[in-house]
Structures are given as C-alpha cells and as structure tokens.
Amino acid sequence: MTDVRHDGPAGPADRVLAYHRRTKHRLDRYAAGPDHLDWDAQPAPFRAWRGTRRYDLPRTAAGITVPWSGLGAPRAPAPVDLEHLGRLLQLTSAITAWKQYGDSRWALRAHPSSGNLHPTETWVIAYWVDGLPDGLYHYQAQDHGVEWRASRLAAADTLGLWLGFSSIHWREAWKYGERALRYCQLDMGHVLAALAYAAALLGWRPRLVGMEHVAMAHCLGLDRAEDFAGVEPEEAEVIVALHGDGTPPPDWDEWSGLPARLDPRPLYDWPVIAEAAAATRGPLPAAGQWGGEGAPRTAGPDIAAAEVILRRRSAQAFDGVAMMPAPLFRRLLASLLPGGAPVWAMWESAPRVHPVLFVHRVEGIAPGLYVLPRSEAGLTGLAAAMRRQFEWTPADPRLPLYRLLAARAERSARTVSCHQDIAADGAFTVMFVAEFAAPVAANPATWRHLHWEAGMLGHCLGLEAEAAGWRGTGIGCFFDDADHELLGITDERYQVVYHYAIGKVVDDPRLSTLPPYD
Ligand SMILES: Cc1cc2nc3c(=O)[nH]c(=O)nc-3n(C[C@H](O)[C@H](O)[C@H](O)COP(=O)(O)O)c2cc1C
C-alpha cells in the first residue's frame, strides 16, 4: 500500500479510503449489502413534495434540429424562458420512456442510473426567467414540472439560472448496501454530462459553481432539518450556473412544501455511507491544464442530437458478433479527449481518469488490452504503475492509444465485471482507471469527483455509440482487485472506479415501450 501522509488516523481522507477498500467487490465476497430484497418495498422513485405550487414545463426538446455532427459548432444562445428550461431539463433529467413487462412498469430517463434507481434529484434556481416567478424549485421528473420551494429574499436585478443536484443515498443503498455511495457518484457524473450535452444544444455554457458544502446545502434548502424530519436526507452534490454571475443567491424567504418519505419500512441501515459522504465534502477540482492531446475532429452522423439523447438506452445484452468499424471506434475514443465532447468545456480540471480497454471486436484492431491515457501525467503514471511486461505499442496515428497486450479477453472481461455477459459480448469494454490515493489524500472530495469523471466518460461513450446505432451500458459491478491484478496495479496510486461496455444491442422482445408522458 502507498504510504499516504495526510490528516491523521481518523481524518476524512482515511475514512474515504477505508470506505473505498471495504466496498470492493471481491471474487469470493461481494461488498456488504442486503441479504434479501423486498421488491414491493422499493423506495419511491420520485420524491413527492406536498403543499407546493407546481409549474408545468413545455416538452419541446424533440423540436431541436441541431444535428449530432454539429454538436460542437458555436450557436447563438437560446432565450432563457420556460420553454428552454423545459428543453434543458427534458434532455438532462426527464423521463424519456416507460418500459413494461407483464404488470411491471418502470420509467427510464435521459441519463442512465445504476439499477435504474435514480438517486439524483434536480433543483432549479431561477430569476428573471421568462414565465417563471423568481425562486428555488424542485424538478419533478414524474410529470416534468417544477415545484416551488422558496422565493428570493431580495429582488433580483439580473437574469440568473442554475441547476443544483443532490443525492438520496437510500435509493441506491436499499438495493446495493454499502457500495451504494459509489453508484450515487457515478450517476452524478452521467447527469453532469447529460446537462453539458443539453446545454450545448441550447448554446448555453454551463459552469460548475465552487461553493462550500454548507452554503450549497443551505442554498438548496437541504439543511432545513424541520422540513426533512422523518424523511430520507438529501446530500448536496453540485450547483451548475447556466446564466448569471456564477453565484446563486445565498438566502431564501417564504419556504413552502414538505418532502414525502420514500421508504416507510427500511430494513437495513448502512451508516458507513453517511460517514463517507461527510468525509468527501469539499472543494471542486481547480481548473487545470489538460496537457494531453486534443481530440481529432470527426463529424459524426447527421441525425438530430436531441433525438439521440431522447432515445438513449442502456443495452441489457449484446449480440457477441458485430464488428465495430474502426472510424466509429476512433470517434468514440476521441469523445473522451479535450474538445471531443461538450462536457470537457464544463469539466475543466486536469483529467485523472484513464480508460483501459478490453477490445473484443473492432475492425482493424487486434483483440487485446489497450490504454488511452488522457494526459501526459496519466501516460507516465500508468506506465510506472501497471504491469512491466505490457508492450505499450502505439495503436493509432492520431489518438494516444497504446496496445498493452494482444489477446482475446472476453472471458477475463466477463469475470472481472461480476461475470456479466455484456462485458464480453460487445465491441469493447472499458475499465476506468483513476489517479487515486494522492489526490484523494490531498482533497477527500476528489473521491467523488473521480467517480463523476468516470460517469461523464461513460456517458460520452454511450451517447456517441447511440448516435451511430450502437449502444452502451455502465457496469458498476466489478471485482476491484481482480482488475488491479490483471493490470499489475499493486498499490493505491491508481484504482479502477467504473466499467463501461459498448456493443450491438439485442433487444428483449418481451418488453414494450410506452411514451414518457401522457
Ligand atoms: C453507474 C451505473 C452502473 C451500472 N451498472 C450496471 C451493471 O453492473 N450491469 C448492468 O447490466 N447495467 C448496469 N447499469 C445500467 C443500468 O441498469 C441502466 O442505466 C438502468 O437500468 C436504466 O436504464 P437506461 O440506461 O436504459 O435508461 C449501470 C448504470 C450506471 C449509470
């Protein structure tokens, strides 16, 4: 183990590193979770707020004609009104379809979520937004509306629009036990990426707001103990500015609404989640120099980008035969590099998460293990941390892609991905390897951000694949140290934080698809 010097034996860095270790899935033992699940007692997927005024949002995102190929082109900002707020939320957090199998019916949203449990709640702070009184609102995905929470203490004098995000840990912990906090953070990354794509379509420039955790929770009304008495708490994650001077209002007036309990009879308690959450409250990463190679510009298909986002799904099975064309493979990888996707204009910090790929079926690329270091530091660091025998053969004239090993690796990919076939049957499966112990020790909040970054990377791959008629699936279930053994990683300088698979989908004919809203 790396000798990390930081804030003493019981400090936040120790606590989160200990949390990470104890929530590893191992080949012989999964992380602690419930012994059995009562599916009928699943926490409510939507948080109801009683006693608030609701404003319906228009659902006109399908009318956005920007083609996927033109996603990166500059465009005039759309007006800041109810219609465009509705579009933004439709492409970020809304329901995009219902699925039905027998008597069961469940909603899918614009972003994926581990176990489809959707721990992320979305908040809107608006002033001078045409059609909406100034205030703080909870976004209600169930019917695509916003619910009034508070009005502004002082009258606003300029336009301002922010989205805030919080996690309800219990939604994930109910099913996944102690590992759930990781999934909440990966989901958060997917949501942020979804927001970046949505904002790009409107010509808006999202910026993460650096705020103290206490101030952020206060701003979103999540510290109002009297309102949350007896219901599951919400953990503030991040506020993103879309318009305005960057800082949301510090104080509110005239609160309204009370949240409903999601799970009246919780069967378990996983206190380590709240401990690790508290240990990882801290500043956002500083904007940094990327320092790596930029993405080679490739256009992508001409299909409407909004259509791609609205029809995005995760694959549950891949066909095990389709060969991915090499240009598409390159386009997917380029989306992970600077300039390759809208999210990297919002997430300006130096990259700390690097894809290592099991390539199974890509035309012109020998099956094997590949790495795409996203920075110079990643290149040198990974070369030093991974197996000495890796060959590091340059594998592409334009991308920083290196072959580590030529071998068919479907079985290994399946095994390390909790024996899931999707990891073996696609074109490729990625392990996201994060620079870990040192940055987490320096700022324990980095632990969250590494998971966000991995979620964002997965989201870019998923949408880019979707646009081309392929599909992705996040894989939160993987055997951590089996990955590390395979890569020759023997300490905590680097840790794998997420897997993601891409392939040609095999649809389940038993499922029917219904429209998102009546
Ligand atoms: C962080 C994360 C982890 C996931 N892990 C798995 C997994 O291990 N296996 C799997 O089949 N799907 C996994 N998924 C996919 C979800 O099951 C899927 O997103 C969810 O059912 C919603 O479906 P949709 O993405 O089609 O909207 C994961 C998704 C996310 C975001």
Cα-trace Rg, the chain: 22
Question: In the chain, what are the domain boundaries?
Answer: 16-279, 313-503
Looking from the CA of 70 toward its CB, the CA atoms found within 13 Å total 13
Alpha-carbon distance of 178 to 192, in angstroms, equals: 24
Question: Which one-letter DSSP state was computed for residue 42?
Answer: P
Q: Tokens 């970046």: give the residue.
A: 196
> Sign of dihedral through CA atoms 471, 476, 481, 484?
positive
Residues with Cβ within 8 Å of 293's Cβ and at least 6 positions away in sequence, in order, are 337, 338, 399, 400
> Which amino acid makes up residue 126?
A
| CA 356/CA 401 separation, integer angstroms | 10
From 198, 169, 178, select the one nearest 29 (Cα to Cα). 178
pTM flag (> 0.75): yes
Q: Could you read off the pLDDT of 401-446 as tens digits, one per residue?
A: 999 999 999 999 999 999 999 999 999 999 999 999 999 999 999 9
Domains 16-279 and 313-503 share a fold: yes
Q: Which helix (H) or strand (E) holds 277?
A: helix 271-279
Reference 359, options 316, 402, 310, 306; nearest CA is: 402
Give, in degrees to the nearest 5, the angle at Cα 30 between 24 and 35.
Answer: 135
- Using an 8 Å Cβ cutoff, are 136 and 65 in contact? no
Cα(113) to ligand 1 centroid in Å equals 5
Q: Write the residue with the smallest CA distance to atom 11 of ligand 1.
A: 316
pLDDT of amino acid 298? 66
Nearest Cα neighbor of 108 from 515, 464, 518 is 515
CA atoms within 13 A on the CB side of 118: 24
Rounded to whole angstroms, how far apart are CA atoms 455 and 463?
Answer: 12
Cα 3 to middle of ligand 1, angstroms: 35
What is the C-alpha to C-alpha distance for residues 269 and 193, in angstroms, rounded to an integer?
31
CA of 111 to the centre of ligand 1 (A): 10
Q: Work out which ligand 1 atom sits closest to the CA atom of 458.
A: 31
pLDDT score, position 157: 74
Residue 113 CA, closest ligand 1 atom number: 31
Q: How far is CA 394 from CA 77, 137, 222, 400, in A?
A: 41, 50, 49, 7
- Ligand 1, atom 22: nearest CA belongs to which residue? 116
Nearest CA to ligand 1 atom 8: 475
Element spanning 252, H or E: strand 252-253
Dihedral (Cα; 36, 41, 47, 50), 10-degree rounding: -150
186 lines ligand 1 (CB under 6 A): yes
Give me the CATH topology for the region 16-279. NADH Oxidase (3.40.109)
Q: Are 336 and 371 in contact (CB under 8 A)?
A: no
- Sequence length of the chain is 518
How distant, in Å, are the alpha carbons of 118, 194, 435 from that of 447? 20, 21, 10
Q: What is the CATH topology of the domain spanning 313-503?
A: NADH Oxidase (3.40.109)
Asked if 307 and 62 touch (Cβ cutoff 8 Å), the reply is yes
Q: Cα separation of 504 and 376, whole Å?
A: 33
Q: What is the pLDDT of residue 106?
A: 95
List, for the chain, all residue ranges whose pLDDT scores fall below the cut of 50: 1-8
